[in-house]
Amino acid sequence: MEEQSVPEKVPTTVREHWRPRGFFYVFVVLMCGLAAVLGVGAVWVSAVADMKAATDVSFVASPVKPVAIPRVKPPRQVVKGLYLTAYSAGNPEKIDEIIKLIEATELDAIVIDIKDYTGYVLYDSQVPLVKKLGTKKVLIDDIPALIRKLHEHKIYAIARQTVFQDPALAEKKPEWAIKDKQGGVWRDKKGLSWVDATREEVWAYNLAVAREAAALGFDEINFDYVRFPSDGDLSRVVYRNGASKRYEVIGKFYSYLSEKLADEPVWISLDMFGFVMEKKGEDDMRIGQRLADAVGVVDYISPMMYPSHYPSGHLGLKNPADDPALVIAHGMEEGSPRFVGTRAEVRPWIQAFNLGAVYDADKIREQIDTVEKYTTAGWMLWNASNRYSDAGLKAE
């Protein structure tokens, strides 16, 4: 460690201790003589030495402090990830199982819930409003330690944060919730309440959580449910966007995230409906999602291209889940050109669960191979139960 020299200009607080040194030493001599008479000289001299240390300029100078090395945004990489709930991420045995799978395959990333469909923040957040409202439920005890462990294994860590589907916040701040024309807070078909996407207080609340996630060490923040509701009795929803179109409201939120997170050491990604890749013009599926509003202000867009979620008759298919390559190829062909020359890259979510068909190794591989024909940004596996295997994955 380098020696720290005393500044040429002594701070005022130091000078106040420094001026009376002549008087101080006269006082010391008198006290030492008295101490010798009383037989306690040794004790007194020791005490005087401590007093001198506390008043001498060389000891008042601030100690050398370690310089914190600021985190920087990691390099862009091809992400081949999988999703974990906070329950799974908070379970050491499950994490070890997933790390083992990642090290044995082409996988290199994990997406972890930090705020899910319940609206609760799922770690010990210190965001003032989260603490005040009691909108946290700690399922991951030590996120920094978890991220360090992932990074030690060269695993890219993504924080998934739901935004406007937020029952916890809607309950605590009903004035921020979407209202029902029949009174009270509106709820979707699952009984879940949403917060109003037009309220900037909601934007600021989510920004605070995202900034904290960045400070905890995540490499990327993945925002989900950045939209208006899509199901339930939508005829009873009280919309507050006035003359603004829904995609304009959501587009402003994308830009807000881009501006406010510009100096944070994380990438920004958005989840969107898979159909966003095929929609054009002003068609925002009545939920406010369009590629056009996002590709210039975020880093990655992850359309949820699960073949089972496309309706019967799509592309003339009775059961789209039976033909994942065709479904994904069509979406990628339609949507990929709109990413050319923009900030964003497309990195789809793909199906790793049985719905509409059994998603075995062949169907998982079909999806991966199809996606990789159109993008170099990667893909992510979704299984809500977090049941993963090496089926369909290349060995490393």
The whole-angstrom separation of Cα 122 and Cα 137 is 5
Tokens standing for residue 395: 């060995």
Amino acid at residue number 103: E
Query: In the chain, what percentage of residues exceed pLDDT 90?
Result: 82
- 342, 373 Cβ separation under 8 angstroms: no
Question: In terms of DSSP H, where are the helices of 190-316?
Answer: 200-216, 246-260
Per-residue pLDDT at 86:
98
> Considering only CA atoms, which of 216, 218, 222, 162 is closest in space to residue 193?
162
* Rg of the chain (C-alpha set): 29
175 — alpha (psi -120 to 50), left (phi > 0) or beta? alpha
The β-bridge relationship of strands 79-84 and 156-162 is unpaired
The sign of the dihedral angle between the CA atoms of 281, 282, 287, 289 is positive
The whole-angstrom separation of Cα 289 and Cα 178 is 18
Q: Is the pLDDT of residue 71 over 50?
A: yes
- 324, 279 Cβ separation under 8 angstroms: no
Tokens standing for residue 288: 């406010």
pTM of the model: 0.83
Q: What angle do CA 311, 316, 318 make, to 5 degrees?
A: 55
Q: What angle do CA 82, 88, 90 make, to 5 degrees?
A: 125
Q: Is the pLDDT of residue 309 over 90?
A: yes
- Per-residue pLDDT of 39-57, as tens digits, reads 434 433 443 344 333 333 3
Query: Residue 350's beta-bridge partner residues?
Result: 381
H or E segment and range at residue 378: strand 378-382
Query: What's the CA dihedral at 205, 208, 213, 214 to 10 degrees?
Result: 140
Residue-range domain boundaries for the chain: 12-60, 79-382
- 222, 269 Cβ separation under 8 angstroms: yes
Q: Which fold has domain 79-382?
A: TIM Barrel (3.20.20)
H or E segment and range at residue 362: helix 361-371
- Per-residue pLDDT of 183-239, as tens digits, reads 999 999 999 999 999 999 999 999 999 999 999 999 999 999 999 999 999 999 999
Residue 86, helix vs strand vs coil: helix
Q: Is the pLDDT of residue 1 over 80?
A: no
351 exposure class (CB count in 10 Å sphere: 0-12, 13-18, 19+): buried
- Per-residue pLDDT of 77-99, as tens digits, reads 999 999 999 999 999 999 999 99
Residue 14: pLDDT band by 50, 70, 90 thresholds?
Answer: very low
Residue 91, helix vs strand vs coil: coil
Q: Is the pLDDT of residue 330 over 80?
A: yes
Per-residue pLDDT at 317:
98
Tally of CB atoms within 10 A around 92: 11
Residue 69: pLDDT band by 50, 70, 90 thresholds?
Answer: low
